């Protein structure tokens, strides 16, 4: 961005001058992180047509702040919402109830979350940030097609977590609700099958690594976790009895004002089978400490 005349304006915790998420979100699409990485990915794909390669495209968007160059693309009033939108998690875990209470009485991105229209606006702007990723993926697909590599390239699209976006009256992640814990998983192996299908069941990121290794006809290391599922893609097996393990330690949840590096000892575990959690177990080695923003040390 410096080459384009954009100077960093924010101080980091170590005193360095950086491009903060807030500053980046206010720039045009061509200056976003996903666009920058897509430019390099496009060049990499076109320069390596003569040999096998592995490319990992990992970017920050559509991570908060929930504002960006495509604000206004989606109408907040007509954007669909589900049955849990702004529904308080009554009777659920204390931590989730506390988070919902916190959000419902606060302001995010200048929006008063005591009003439904503010939640809808943030949700719409988040969808706008997703377009940045859509455009970047489109760039890579176009490069693969134009260089004749699409038919022999394994292409996977996923995410590390979802986004509450107002469901259960929360934002961001940090919960085992579907909106947070369930993520996209699109896997393309054109040389294996040309048909598109939706496969029901549970599939975790550990399984993705094992599956990619298997699809590449490489030996699976004994220490590699996860189950290779290439047989599921070609219809020889299914995921009905498959399981996935998720863990979240609850440390440093800034939405409840927890000081950085403050130990809490709150550990949540979930075992999922057939797309539903079959066991959720909170484990506390020391009392969970919830600190309100007004109690945060200066």
CA-atom Rg of the chain in angstroms: 21
Question: In Å, how far are 70, 90, 278 from 144, measured between CA atoms?
Answer: 26, 48, 41
Contact 69, 27 (CB under 8 A): yes
Task: Compute the residue count for the chain.
Answer: 298
- Provide mean pLDDT across the span 64-70: 94
For the chain, list the strands marked E by DSSP: 10-11, 17-18, 107-108, 111-112, 155-158, 185-188, 243-248, 266-273, 276-284
**Between 192 and 32, whose confidence is greater?**
32
How many Cβ atoms from other residues are within 10 Å of residue 153's Cβ? 18
CATH for 2-197, among 3.40.720.10, 3.30.420.270, 1.10.760.10, 1.10.10.60? 3.40.720.10
- Concatenating the DSSP letter of every residue in 49-71 gives TTS---------TTPSSS--TTT
Given this model, what pLDDT does residue 272 score?
A: 63
First-to-last alpha carbon distance for the chain, in angstroms, is 33
Nearest one of 281, 194, 192 to 230, comparing CA atoms = 192
Domain with CATH 3.40.720.10 in the chain: 2-197
| Furthest C-alpha separation in the chain | 59
State the pLDDT confidence band at 121, using cuts at 50, 70 and 90: very high
pTM of the predicted protein model: 0.83
Per-residue pLDDT tens digits for 211-269 = 999 999 999 998 888 899 999 988 889 998 888 888 776 655 554 544 444 444 445 55
């Amino acid at each position: 961005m410096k080459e384009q005349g954009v100077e960093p304006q924010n101080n980091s915790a170590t005193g360095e001058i950086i491009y903060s998420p807030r500053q980046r979100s206010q720039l045009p699409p061509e200056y976003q992180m996903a666009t920058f990485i897509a430019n390099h990915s496009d060049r990499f794909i076109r320069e390596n047509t003569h040999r096998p390669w592995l490319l990992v495209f990992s970017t920050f968007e559509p991570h908060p702040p929930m504002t960006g160059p495509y604000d206004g693309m989606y109408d907040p009033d007509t954007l669909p919402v589900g049955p849990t939108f702004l529904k308080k998690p009554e009777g659920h875990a204390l931590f989730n109830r506390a988070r919902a209470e916190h959000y419902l009485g606060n302001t995010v991105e200048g929006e008063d979350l005591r009003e439904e229209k503010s939640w809808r606006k943030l949700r719409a702007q988040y969808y706008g940030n997703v377009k940045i990723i859509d455009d970047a993926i489109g760039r890579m697909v176009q490069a693969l097609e134009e260089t004749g590599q699409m038919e022999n390239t394994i292409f996977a699209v996923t995410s590390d977590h979802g986004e509450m976006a107002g469901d259960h009256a929360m934002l961001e992640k940090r919960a085992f609700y579907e909106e947070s814990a369930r993520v996209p998983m699109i896997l393309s192996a054109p040389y294996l099958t040309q048909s598109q299908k939706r496969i029901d069941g549970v599939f975790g990121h550990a399984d993705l690594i094992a599956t990619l290794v298997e699809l590449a006809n490489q030996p699976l290391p004994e220490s590699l976790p996860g189950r290779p599922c290439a047989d599921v893609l070609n219809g020889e097996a299914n995921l009905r009895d498959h399981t996935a393990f998720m863990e979240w330690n609850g440390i440093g949840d800034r939405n409840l004002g927890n000081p950085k590096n403050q130990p809490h000892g709150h550990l949540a575990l979930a075992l999922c089978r057939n797309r539903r959690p079959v066991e959720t177990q909170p484990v506390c080695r020391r009392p969970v400490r919830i600190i309100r923003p007004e109690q945060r040390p200066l």
